[in-house]
Amino acid sequence: MKKDSPISKEEFLKALDEGKKCYLKKPRSWQRVWYWWEIDKKDPDERWFMNIYRSEKKGDNDFSNSSWITAKDLDMWLSHAERDGYKYYTNE
């Protein structure tokens, strides 16, 4: 697979479960929305919270924000992003 090729939602979720950082982006856009699990060092198999990091540049200003969502809300977030035209990627 060539670098920066879209993957399926199933591959995206599998990569996240393997502990990889993955991202969403729209075609022909440089902006990425990164996703990765917040891992509990005491119980690494338990996944409750997903980290989301977005970085944007507008003019000379860099805007970035980070948030958490719960594991049960992940599918809703991904479905919404799909409807907005985002594709799934992993760089690992």
| Mode of pairing for the β-strands spanning 22-25 and 33-38 | antiparallel
pTM above 0.75, yes or no: yes
Residue 9 covered by a domain: no
Place of tokens 């990425």: 32
Residue 63 covered by a domain: yes
Residue 2 covered by a domain: no
| φ and ψ of 15, to 5 deg | -60, -40
pLDDT for residue 50: 82
Number of domains in the chain: 1
Measured CA to CA, the distance from residue 76 to residue 34 in angstroms comes to: 16
Residue 79 lies in domain: 22-90
Residue 73 covered by a domain: yes
- Model pLDDT for residues 25-56, shown as the tens digit of each residue: 999 888 888 988 877 677 766 777 887 888 76
Residue 70 covered by a domain: yes
Side chain identity, residue 42: K
Residue 47 covered by a domain: yes
